[in-house]
Amino acid sequence: MSLVTVTVLNFAPGQRYRAFANMGRWLMKPFDVPGLGFQKMMGTGKNFGLWPDFSRYVFLGVWATEAQATAFFASEQWQSFLPTAGYTATSPTSTLYLQPIKSHGLWDGVDPFPVTTNVPGSNVPTDAATADRPIAVLTRASIRTGALLDFWRNVPEARKRIDEQGDNLLMALGAGEKPLVQQCTISVWQNAALVDQFAYRQSGHREIVKKTRQRKWYSEELFARFTVLRMDGFNENAN
C-alpha cells in the first residue's frame, strides 16, 4: 500500500443531516473495494476546536494503486456519499493524493502508511521526497481520559502557531473519529524545509510538543509525512 488519499467533503446547511447519516452508513459498513486497505471517515472541528463542524467530513484511504483509487472515486457507491448541488462557498469535494515518505507510530494498532518506492502508475521519481515540492503532514492521537482537559487547554495556542504560518502553509484542518478523544490533523506545506522549521525550531510549537511527552497526553499516536502528488479541488490556504 503506497498511495494515500485524503478527501474533504463540504456540505451545504440543508445537507448536514444527510452528511451525518453518511457517517453512520460508513461506520456500519466501511467500503469494501479492490485495492483499498486502511480507511477512515472522520468528522471535523471548527477552527481545530471542540465545537464540531457538521458541514465538513474527511475520508482517508490507503490504496494499492492510483488506478484503483480513481475507479472507486468514479463509482456509484462513492458518488452516493458526495454533497449534492447547492454548496457555493468552496469546492464540494477536494482530494489530496499523497505518497508516504516517513511514518512513526500506530493508528488503531497498525502502521497504515508503509513507506515504499513509487506509487504504481504515478510516474513520480524515487527522489520525489527530496524535491522542492509540497509536503503533507498528518498527526493522529488517542488522548488519555485523564489528560483531556490539559490537552484541550493547549489547543488554542497550537492553532495560533498554525495561523502564523501564512503562505508557508497551503492548507490545514483538524479531524477525528471520536469527538474529544481521537484527534487527527492534516496540513500541507510549501516544502520540507518549512515543515522542519515549524516542527523543530518554531518557538511555542516546540513547547507544546514537549508537553505531550512530559504530561503523557496520548495512549496512542502517529506522525507521518508525505510527498504531495496532487491537490485536486483545493484553494491555497484552505484552512
Looking up residue 197, the CATH number of its domain turns out to be 3.30.70.100
User: Are residues 20 and 119 both part of a single domain?
Assistant: yes
User: Are residues 13 and 114 both part of a single domain?
Assistant: yes
User: Are residues 20 and 110 both part of a single domain?
Assistant: yes
Q: What percentage of the chain carries pLDDT values higher than 90?
A: 42
Task: State the pLDDT at residue 237.
Answer: 45
Range of the domain at 156: 137-223
Position 149, amino acid: L
Provide the grid cell at 221.
Answer: 499516536
- 239 located within any domain: no
Closest-CA residue to 12 (of 58, 54, 73, 59): 54
- Per the model's pLDDT, the better-predicted residue between 52 and 81 turns out to be 81
Cβ neighbors of 64 (< 8 A, separation 6 or more) are 1, 2, 3, 34, 35, 37, 120
- 131 located within any domain: no
User: Are residues 106 and 152 both part of a single domain?
Assistant: no
pLDDT for 207-218, tens place per residue? Answer: 666 777 767 888
User: Are residues 160 and 117 both part of a single domain?
Assistant: no
- pLDDT higher than 80, residue 100: yes
**Cα 2 from Cα 151, distance rounded (Å):** 32
Q: Does residue 156 sit in helix, strand or coil?
A: helix
- 130 located within any domain: no
Which residues are paired to 110 by β-bridges? 107
User: Are residues 158 and 216 both part of a single domain?
Assistant: yes
**Cα 172 from Cα 91, distance rounded (Å):** 15
Please give the mean pLDDT across all residues of the chain.
Answer: 83
